[in-house]
Structure 1
Amino acid sequence: MSRIGRAPVKIPDGVKVEVDRRSVRVTGPKGELAVPVGRGVTVRQEDGRLVFERASESPEHKAMHGLTRTLVQNAVTGVTEGFSKTLQISGVGYRAQLQGRNLTLQVGYSHPVVIEPREGIELEVPNQTTIVVRGIDKQRVGQTAAEIRAVRPPEPYKGKGIRYADEQIRRKVGKAG
Structure 2
Amino acid sequence: MRQPGWGAVVSVGLLWSLVAWFGGPWWWLPVPLAVVAFAVPLTVVDLRERRLPDALTLRAYPIFAAALAFAAIEGGAELLWGALLGGLVFGGLHAVTHRVIPHALGAGDVKLAGSLGLVLGATGWAAMVAVVVIAAVVSAVLGVFARIRGSPTWEDGVPHGPGLLIATSLVTLFPSQ
Do they superpose with TM above 0.5? no
TM interval, short-chain normalised: under 0.3
Q: Which has the higher contact order (CA 8 A, sep 6+)?
A: 2
> Greater helix share, 1 or 2?
2
- Return the index of the structure with the highest Cα Rg: 1
> What TM-score, normalized by structure 2, do the two folds share?
0.24
